[in-house]
């Protein structure tokens, strides 16, 4: 891999790692539903010039917009609003990787052998270890919501696999079109005061929301899509593994979140399982790709 492209991946890891602060600050200032609504308004405004109709795929797009847009982001935002120890949430959120594999086995009939089966068990064992840590007992509702968000992300990931070839900006544009009315309804129902206070939000809050909507969603995912088009999955995917570690380090530095021995053990188990699944799944997808004629 070219040094410039390696630097690009590492930069995206940092962008995604820093997003944990952007989400937390946006949620605490604007409210979870209102923050997600504004995030999609910003992202959709950027993607709108690229939006186009996708004949034969609009049903799939609308479903992906609900699952990966409204449902995933709502659960995640509420979990950030309820939890103080966002380091734990960043680790638990990695369950999206084993959930994606499980759904692929069920619905895509993907073959799976003992290394990845063991890795799935290790991932969930790590979350259980963390969940029984007395130091984060008050965070369990947030953790459960994050588990639900990870499952929603995995389901959306399965839908995105059926949208191969569709540009990232087109997908994110439609995600926003679907999610905005849903998030507006949720904000109007549960956060009317926050919704009315949008004109009074400080510039810093708009900055955090713009960071999440543009840098994390569009630039991050768009950059990764560009790299996956040029390098094997087995080369690119493992280089994204530092992201949760960066998130934890940033959460500790910014919010002084406590890290207990039990959290470290549980987090390490989860990340080891995620690493095994990521690397072996990437190797398998590359081996299944047809060889181009010379």
Q: What is the sign of the dihedral through the CA atoms of 222, 227, 232 and 238?
A: negative
User: Which residue did the predictor score with more confidence, 41 or 158?
Assistant: 41
Distance CA 273, CA 97 (A): 9
- For residue 26, count CB atoms less than 10 angstroms from its CB and return exposed for 0-12, middle for 13-18, buried for 19 or more: buried
pLDDT, average across residues 168-178: 91
DSSP symbol at 218: I
Q: Annotate 223-238 with b (16+ C-beta within 10 A) or e (fewer).
A: bbeebeeebebbbbbe
Write out the two tokens for 119: 């890795």
96 in Cβ contact with 67 (< 8 Å): no
pLDDT, average across residues 154-164: 84
pLDDT at 291 over 50: no
Q: Which of 82-86, 106-110, 168-172, 206-210 has the highest mean pLDDT?
A: 206-210
How much is the pLDDT for 293?
A: 34
Encode pLDDT of 192-249 as tens digits: 999 999 999 999 999 999 999 999 989 988 888 788 777 876 678 788 889 999 999 9
Distance CA 165, CA 173 (A): 15
How much is the pLDDT for 186?
A: 97
Please provide the distance, in angstroms rounded to a whole number, between the alpha carbons at the two ends of the chain.
Answer: 22
pLDDT, average across residues 145-165: 89
Predicted TM-score (pTM) of this structure = 0.90
32-47 vs 203-210: helix crossing angle, rounded to 10: 60
Show the DSSP H helices in the chain as ranges: 3-30, 32-47, 58-64, 72-82, 86-92, 96-107, 114-131, 140-161, 168-190, 192-196, 203-210, 221-228, 233-236, 242-255, 261-288
- Give the percent of the chain with pLDDT over 70: 96
Taking alpha carbons only, the member of 94, 113, 109 closest to residue 154 is 94
242-255 vs 3-30: helix crossing angle, rounded to 10: 40
Confidence of residue 287 (pLDDT cuts 50, 70, 90): low
| Residues whose CB falls within 8 Å of the CB of residue 40, separated by 6 or more in sequence, listed in order | 69, 73, 175, 176, 179, 180, 183, 213
User: Which residue did the predictor score with more confidence, 241 or 71?
Assistant: 71
Confidence of residue 163 (pLDDT cuts 50, 70, 90): confident
Q: Which of 81-85, 86-90, 154-158, 195-199 has the highest mean pLDDT?
A: 195-199
How much is the pLDDT for 286?
A: 64
Q: What is the mean pLDDT of the chain?
A: 90
How much is the pLDDT for 158?
A: 85
């Amino acid at each position: 891999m070219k040094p410039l492209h390696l630097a690009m991946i590492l930069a995206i890891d940092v962008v995604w790692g820093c997003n944990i602060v952007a989400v937390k600050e946006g949620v605490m200032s604007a409210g979870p539903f209102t923050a997600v609504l504004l995030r999609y308004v910003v992202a959709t405004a950027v993607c709108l010039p690229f939006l186009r109709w996708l004949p034969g795929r609009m049903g799939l797009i609308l479903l992906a917009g609900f699952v990966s847009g409204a449902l995933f982001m709502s659960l995640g935002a509420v979990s950030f609003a309820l939890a103080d120890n966002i380091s734990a949430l960043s680790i638990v959120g990695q369950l999206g990787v084993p959930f994606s594999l499980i759904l692929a086995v069920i619905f895509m009939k993907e073959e799976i052998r003992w290394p990845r089966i063991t890795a799935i068990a290790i991932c969930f064992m790590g979350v259980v270890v963390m969940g029984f840590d007395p130091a984060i007992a008050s965070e369990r509702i947030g953790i459960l919501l994050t588990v639900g968000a990870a499952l929603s992300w995995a389901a959306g990931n399965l839908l995105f696999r059926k949208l191969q070839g569709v540009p990232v900006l087109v997908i994110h544009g439609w995600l926003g079109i679907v999610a905005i009315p849903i998030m507006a309804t949720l904000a109007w129902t549960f956060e009317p005061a926050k919704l009315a206070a949008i004109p009074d939000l400080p510039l810093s809050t708009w900055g955090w929301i713009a960071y999440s909507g543009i840098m994390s969603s569009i630039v991050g995912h768009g950059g990764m899509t560009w790299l996956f088009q040029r390098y094997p999955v087995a080369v690119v995917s493992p280089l994204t593994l530092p992201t949760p570690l960066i998130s934890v380090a940033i959460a500790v530095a910014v919010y002084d979140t406590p890290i207990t021995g039990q959290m470290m053990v549980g987090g390490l188990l989860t990340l080891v399982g995620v690493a095994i699944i990521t690397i072996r799944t990437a190797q398998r997808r590359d081996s299944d790709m047809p060889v181009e004629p010379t």
